Amino acid sequence: MTKIAVAKGDGIGPEIMSAVLKIFDAAKLPLDYEFVEMGKWVFDKGYSNGMTPQAQQTIETLGVLFKGPMETPKGKGVKSVNVTARKTWNTYANKRVFQTLKGVDTVFSKAGIPVDITVVRENIEDTYGGIEHMLTHDVALSRRFITRPKDYPELKSDDIIIDDLCMKLVTRPDLFDVIVLTNLQGDIVSDLCAGLVGGLGFAPSANIGDHICIFEAVHGTAPDIAGKNIANPTALLLSGISMLRHMGLMESAAIIENALLYTLEQGIHTGDFGDRSKPSLNTTAYAEAIINNFGKIPERGAKPMLADMAATPTLFRLEKNSMMESSETENEKIVGVDFFIESNEQPVVIANKCLRHAGVKFKLINLSNRGTQVWPTGSVYTNLVNQYNVRFESIDDMPLNQQDILGLYISLSGNFKICSSELLNMWGDKRAYSLAQGQ
Amino acid sequence: MTKIAVAKGDGIGPEIMSAVLKIFDAAKLPLDYEFVEMGKWVFDKGYSNGMTPQAQQTIETLGVLFKGPMETPKGKGVKSVNVTARKTWNTYANKRVFQTLKGVDTVFSKAGIPVDITVVRENIEDTYGGIEHMLTHDVALSRRFITRPKDYPELKSDDIIIDDLCMKLVTRPDLFDVIVLTNLQGDIVSDLCAGLVGGLGFAPSANIGDHICIFEAVHGTAPDIAGKNIANPTALLLSGISMLRHMGLMESAAIIENALLYTLEQGIHTGDFGDRSKPSLNTTAYAEAIINNFGKIPERGAKPMLADMAATPTLFRLEKNSMMESSETENEKIVGVDFFIESNEQPVVIANKCLRHAGVKFKLINLSNRGTQVWPTGSVYTNLVNQYNVRFESIDDMPLNQQDILGLYISLSGNFKICSSELLNMWGDKRAYSLAQGQ
């Protein structure tokens, strides 16, 4: 028997988890469950990350977490427990499979356009770092960071810009097999794709890391129908099936998924979808219908009965954090600095003050406001906010050190409140920073 | 006669502009055109912002720019002339109207789901500020900034999260009338909506500012078919019609738009859309077909013949940049600083070094890596990049000044390369910065 951690979730979480585990039990899976404390009620007990230390330890020991939907208390400044779990355990790849299901009608299924798309979403970075500051009382900053991805030259792929992708997904979703996206874009596109196949009730989600993996339903907790035994467990079941495959239980996964597809093809449904002329089943009865169809093969999309496989072992312990660092052979040098200052003065007034601080090592390159250059050239038709970027570079790209930057910082702070700073770096002869708009 | 600036654009730009101006001429519009130099060929002449100073001056004098699609040279580090124009002239509102057109079949039109959505996209801010730095050789940072929006309490609106919006747009686009979005999300959603009505060939775009407005086709320059007189001018024509309304020429706008809709209802089309069993027209013939239908009323979506209106005057001159600043009554104070340092050491090693620099005014709050807390608590399963956020706050929220921050900066720079810094501010008793994930 393999033991996994299970968190039932909030709202409808416990009842859909119970339905899915009933299906798993009927399939006689070689699994033991250790239930852990995560979710809204754990925030309410005073754990500011939404999980108990015991839950964290159990999950880190077992390596697999199966979880229901969870709610994050609003207006308390706490962060989503779902996101905390994904980030803390470095489940860097969010894998979601979206498939047309017979019995789940959509605009696209009616038009005869089949959808079978796997979205892989980077799960840690981007604006979801959640590093946010008010620079002035008018200007909020979110730091969007992206690290160098690993190369997979053996994989063939095409590039597409996100806006074009979304346009094509609503016209020809059948053109796409696998889409790999950064975090924010992946968030948007995966819900868009969920819409193509009938909504979040049919969209499984797996968060894959090197040590810990999380399989979860990503729909809401639906507190309005919680406890009524009418919620749709399909997304959680599909997530569970993907967990079984991850653990190498290929045969049981195929039996359960085929039974689900067969059940949907029969027109069996919970109250939230399907043919309204047929009565809907409650959560328990829907699960039982699936169990009764174990061994049945659906007309469309039947999964092959593969032999069980050895699972990637997750039962190792890390003693320290892993550092991901690429090699860089070019020489690094500091060649300037951007200061973000608070001011409501005109560009030329600020520039004249800044010029006095440049000294013998720096030259004042430009001033920009919201990314648009406003000095030395610009337009009076560029509206301003009270936050300027003042860029200084070294004369002739001479390498600078931190003391040079600090000297300028000290000098300039006599005139301005400096809200933020960024070094300007070069690697070899490549500038590692962007120009301002209009520069 | 009113004079407007016209930029023909690159690729298919000149021929579709010529088709649209032919339609305008036939409608005897009271317009004069001054053609200006913008686009790829202007970059090639050495103007790094893609427009000549003469073009800029003309546009700033006339206040209205009608432009074809433009290309930005790739790999030269220059910025898009389209974006430069929008930002330099503070055309802060991008308005795009997406309507089901009879004769332009889509999955949604076939399903009988009508689309009539106006997207208003903020046009200046967000990650489109383009303020980007490599902090280490592995970590890139883009600054996403958002300023305080003006309130319009008289407007009734609902909030929706972007992922949920996209899911609903592909299932029930008929639920939406007007969608107001930040820049990046607006970029994605407006192309998604273009897909709902048949693509960018049918999607007009207006960029509205207080002084200068830009009306443009946002599709590509299609260099592969340039000069062949087969391009589809519909999007540019719709953008031009929206310009006519902006200028108060309501009656001519209605005559031309009704003629366009009538023409589409007749099954007349260029080669890129429509009923393939009917021969397609070339660009010129398509424009002539529309001219020949002046006075005709389409079956669906006919525009009412409103009387011409006085246009908002744009012929004023600004002498200096406008500063947008809200009032803030709460006291501002500095209560700490985030330093972003380069290091590939373990969290506890870094924390021990940082603790020595805290002195009598600061306490070390935490270390985070990609937004996830890794000290004082955290998980060894959080993978690291060589860029840490080290947060210091003042003891008991005592107000700090820039000299305090600089003292700490100087001290800490003895141990680390500090790539970036952000002040931690409070207004009144409100912290103006986010917690780390897991904090």
pLDDT tens readout for residues A39-77: 999 999 999 889 999 999 999 999 999 999 999 888 777
Q: What is the mean pLDDT of residues B382-402?
A: 95
Selected residue of B151, B321, B346, B365 to mutate for chain A interface (largest A Cβ count, 10 A): B321
User: Among A16, A14, A54, A12, which residue's Cα sits nearest to residue A37?
Assistant: A54
Inter-chain residue contact A141 with B137, CB threshold 8 Å? no
Whether omega before A53 lies within 30 degrees of 0, making that bond cis, reads no
Q: Residue B188's closest chain A neighbor by CA?
A: A163
CB contacts < 8 A, A to B, total 385
> Is residue B26's pLDDT more than 70?
yes
> Is residue A315's pLDDT more than 80?
no
Query: pLDDT band at residue A80, thresholds of 50, 70 and 90?
Result: confident
Q: Are A252 and A305 in contact, with CB atoms under 8 Å apart?
A: no
**B81 in reach of chain A (CB within 8 A):** no
Q: Are B405 and A106 in contact, with CB atoms under 8 Å apart?
A: no
**B432 in reach of chain A (CB within 8 A):** yes
> Is residue A242's pLDDT more than 60?
yes
User: Among B303, B302, B261, B300, which residue's Cα sits nearest to residue B112?
Assistant: B300
Q: What is the mean pLDDT of residues B149-168?
A: 93
> What is the phi-psi region of residue B190: left when phi exceeds 0, alpha when psi lies from -120 to 50, beta otherwise?
alpha
CA distance readout (Å), A417 to A194, A376, B284: 47, 22, 59
16-45 of B, contacting A, C-beta below 8 A: none
Q: Are A132 and A142 in contact, with CB atoms under 8 Å apart?
A: yes
Q: Given this model, what pLDDT does residue A148 score?
A: 87
Q: Distance (Å) from the C-alpha of residue A433 to the closest C-alpha of chain B?
A: 4
> What is the phi-psi region of residue A46: left when phi exceeds 0, alpha when psi lies from -120 to 50, beta otherwise?
left
Q: Are B282 and B230 in contact, with CB atoms under 8 Å apart?
A: yes
CA distance readout (Å), B294 to B19, B240, B244: 15, 16, 16
pLDDT tens readout for residues B34-71: 999 999 989 999 998 899 999 999 999 999 999 999 99
Residue B146 neighbours by CB under 8 Å, 6+ apart: A139, A140, A142, B125, B126, B182
Residue B61 neighbours by CB under 8 Å, 6+ apart: B315
Q: Given this model, what pLDDT does residue A313 score?
A: 65
**What residues of chain A lie within 8 A of the CB of B73, using their CB?**
none
Q: Are B231 and B16 in contact, with CB atoms under 8 Å apart?
A: yes
A392 vs B323, residue with greater confidence: A392
Q: What is the mean pLDDT of residues A101-113?
A: 94
d(CA B99, CA B101): 6
118-157 of A, contacting B, C-beta below 8 A: 124-125, 127-135, 137-148
> What is the three-class DSSP state of B411?
helix
> Is residue B316's pLDDT more than 70?
no
What token pair was written down for B208? 């509205």
pLDDT tens readout for residues B222-237: 999 999 999 999 999 9
- Orientation of helix A402-412 relative to helix B402-412, angle to 10°: 180
Q: ipTM of this model?
A: 0.92
> What is the three-class DSSP state of B159?
coil
Q: What is the mean pLDDT of residues A267-273?
A: 96
Phi, psi dihedrals of residue B159, rounded to the nearest 5°? -90, 145
Q: Given this model, what pLDDT does residue A437 score?
A: 74
> What is the phi-psi region of residue A95: left when phi exceeds 0, alpha when psi lies from -120 to 50, beta otherwise?
beta
Average per-residue pLDDT for chain B: 94
Query: How many CB atoms are closer than 10 A to CB B177?
Result: 8
User: Among A249, A258, A267, which residue's Cα sits nearest to residue A292?
Assistant: A258
Query: pLDDT band at residue A130, thresholds of 50, 70 and 90?
Result: confident
What token pair was written down for A426? 């070069």
> Is residue B272's pLDDT more than 90?
yes
Q: Given this model, what pLDDT does residue B312 score?
A: 66
